[in-house]
Structure 1
């Protein structure tokens, strides 16, 4: 049975609906100051002027009395764009309540695996949005997390004991979860949202390709279950001098990818975005949030894993101050205006950040001391999240590796002939090769063939870092795409226990409901699909040649530099020469 879900319940509390029905050619309502925060416009609670409201296509501003009027469509989401200095109500899971779903017939009959949307019936006479006043902070922090991607209840435990536990008590105003919130099993939504809500701050959700109703036959219906729990799949809101935009850039099913998904922002959203931006002053910072990156790092030659119509998006945003954030790749990358990699087709005109993944490489690998998979990402970055600090229309960001202090921003390791021999044995299927074979990896026998590899997680190709062996004269490290990261590979390769299989259609279904409580990680995939941190995988590797004149004994090397915001970053490694 399809249900309206948490969003439908919250709407009855946060959006005042009258019972009378009028001709469904227009939708109208009031945006008002809900002084007592009861969700109802009481006497003495005035309307709010100049607040943007949309039907998912057109955007209008409220009158001096807080009234809006928009064309009505058979299948639409009506939502308010929260102005700075105001806040929408949140539900029990800390999900902001700013949208009303209008789908009179509900989800189509083919959506059966998960609950979809119940018929909403006729459009109400009024769809009203309550707001309440908050401090208009010009300086504030935001938690941004990439793919949490939980496939089962065990992985929700991992999420609770890592990201959620760390973020509790944060001074951040809110969190943005960048899609692939779940791992295909949408019946996990209630527990997942309950756990995420325990961060204690509002959570804005971006839809991802693993949050889909895979039995949908139309892109219009493909996020119906997601909508039933969370609400709108694209929308905007304002804090300080920053205009945040959430986009749904997952087209499913895609006519050009054999019914799979594709990275694309559909025409209706593009029309909405143009109308939305028409009300945003040019001096505001625009922060785009989408799941599939506009341009990718590891998937840069794949059209499916980048936004097809990015040139149209670039043209729409021309002349504005923009940063784009995305997830999807389970990597961390920074691209500056003018950067271009093979497969993009043109340079990026603004900053783009791929924010990493809270699940790392799908909650895989050996366990840490807390019983959570170490799960280094595809580019050798530990699982974690980002903290963005906004001041006016400017921002800085830093990556926070789970369980590590903020000043831990890199790992150092040596790429040696011995390591490559071990790597080749595992890659060829030699099951006798284990991590124990690397017991003396920091004892160098042949310095002439050894390279120091620094994986500096938040770095970009434009940064400058330096190496100093035994306090000698510093040597500039070279940025490279053509290198392996031995530190991450050693953690990723020797334990394959937790690598999940990704075949949705081979999973066991019980009465058309995928029982996530019954299944843990799948069988290990083939090793050649799991050699993540190799050439072309990481955009933040720097290398230095080890000096050939080091004497036998103990030595140290220091790698340091400044990040793009001028903050000092440093790491020291102690090693031996034999």
Structure 2
């Protein structure tokens, strides 16, 4: 496609924003509430479609200012670092940083996605010994305080987990023992009056994980991969039962949307910016992001927003 025509077709202005019909986005947040945007699974790479799509998404959400306080990046910022050379990974991060610097004016927090980790599927010993191996590169790129951390915003505490761990050259969805002990301590020391939101790249509870594949197992069993849903979900949700101030859990990874209420906690899986990895819809879900409204009373509302993808 001609570049000029392509960019004309994908231009975006505040006057023509295509915000999906919503129950609360049309009005300013109440004084007792605040809003965040949850953008996940951008999977940007140095191609015209991916770069232009990321630009559109970030222009779109920035046009919602000042009603959105900050952006939560749900992970998988770049297409893939698991099995890519250092040069290819650097090019992906270059695109990410260029677009973010040029298009985003909102504060942003980050969560690590499995595709953000470098070298897990590579066998070269030099990669394993490189200081950027594993999650060191993504932590540095995002200037994160660590692979898991907390921050507070108004009456809420956000606990950001690191949910993808290396597993024999691949990855598995779980939190390691060190992180679980840290999570236990964070929950214990949080005042019961403070509302908690948990963020993880891979869902802790979701239905999307069960319908990611088009078919069940040959014997009829549902097929849920250890890479699609936390294998330690029972342990984590068992821990959560003791803390009534945990209001919601936010995730990405599946590129689909759901909202599961389990034991009084709302688990939201929040689609993706790239859809079918920049190939259009994924399982009928448009490329989109979520806007959450958090109330002083602990209430949570979500609206999914389609930003007008380039494919």
For normalisation by structure 1, the TM-score amounts to 0.40
Mapped contact 1:179–1:207 kept (Cα < 8 A): yes
| Residue matched to 1:288 | 198
Q: CA deviation at 1:217?
A: 5.0
What is the rounded CA distance, in whole Å, between the counterparts of 2:79 and 2:181 in structure 1?
30
Mapped contact 2:276–2:282 kept (Cα < 8 A): yes
Q: Is 1:327 aligned to residue 252 of structure 2?
A: yes
What are the superposed Cα offsets for residues 56-99 of structure 1, whole Å, 9 maximum, x if unpaired?
xxxxxxxxxxxxxxxxxxxxxxxxxxxxxxxxxxxxxxxxxxxx
Mapped contact 2:160–2:200 kept (Cα < 8 A): yes
Q: Is 1:387 aligned to residue 301 of structure 2?
A: no
Alignment of 1:107-186 (within 5 A): 138-169=32-63, 170-171=65-66, 172-184=68-80, 185-186=88-89
Aligned residue for 1:248, secondary structure, equals: coil
What are the superposed Cα offsets for residues 516-548 of structure 1, whole Å, 9 maximum, x if unpaired?
xxxxxxxxxxxxxxxxxxxxxxxxxxxxxxxxx
| Residue matched to 1:310 | 233
| Residue matched to 2:265 | 350
What is the rounded CA distance, in whole Å, between the counterparts of 2:276 and 2:54 in structure 1?
17
Alignment of 1:217-366 (within 5 A): 217=128, 221-230=133-142, 231=144, 232-252=146-166, 254=167, 258-300=168-210, 301-318=224-241, 319-320=243-244, 321-337=246-262, 350-364=265-279
What is the rounded CA distance, in whole Å, between the counterparts of 1:312 and 1:221 in structure 2?
29
Q: CA deviation at 1:156?
A: 4.2
| Residue matched to 1:562 | none
Mapped contact 1:285–1:394 kept (Cα < 8 A): no
| Residue matched to 2:23 | none
What are the superposed Cα offsets for residues 271-293 of structure 1, whole Å, 9 maximum, x if unpaired?
11122222211132211111111
Q: CA deviation at 1:267?
A: 0.8
Aligned residue for 1:272, secondary structure, equals: helix
Report the CA distance shift for 1:161/1:213 in structure 2 as closer, same or farther (over 3 A): closer
Unaligned runs of 5+ in 1: 1-136, 339-348, 365-374, 405-497, 499-578
What is the rounded CA distance, in whole Å, between the counterparts of 2:107 and 2:236 in structure 1?
28
The number of equivalent residue pairs is: 243
RCO comparison, higher one (Cα < 8 Å, 6+): 2
Structure 1 or 2, whichever has the larger Rg, is 1
Mapped contact 1:206–1:291 kept (Cα < 8 A): yes
Q: CA deviation at 1:363?
A: 0.8
What are the superposed Cα offsets for residues 335-372 of structure 1, whole Å, 9 maximum, x if unpaired?
0125xxxxxxxxxx5211100001111111xxxxxxxx
Aligned residue for 2:186, secondary structure, equals: helix
For normalisation by structure 2, the TM-score amounts to 0.72
Aligned residue for 2:254, secondary structure, equals: coil
What is the rounded CA distance, in whole Å, between the counterparts of 1:210 and 1:153 in structure 2?
17
| Residue matched to 2:14 | none
Aligned residue for 1:305, secondary structure, equals: coil
Mapped contact 1:148–1:180 kept (Cα < 8 A): yes
Q: Is 1:211 aligned to residue 80 of structure 2?
A: no
Mapped contact 1:175–1:204 kept (Cα < 8 A): yes
Q: CA deviation at 1:402?
A: 1.6
What is the rounded CA distance, in whole Å, between the counterparts of 2:204 and 2:128 in structure 1?
25
Mapped contact 2:294–2:301 kept (Cα < 8 A): yes
| Residue matched to 2:99 | 195
Unaligned runs of 5+ in 2: 1-30, 81-87, 211-223
Mapped contact 2:206–2:260 kept (Cα < 8 A): no
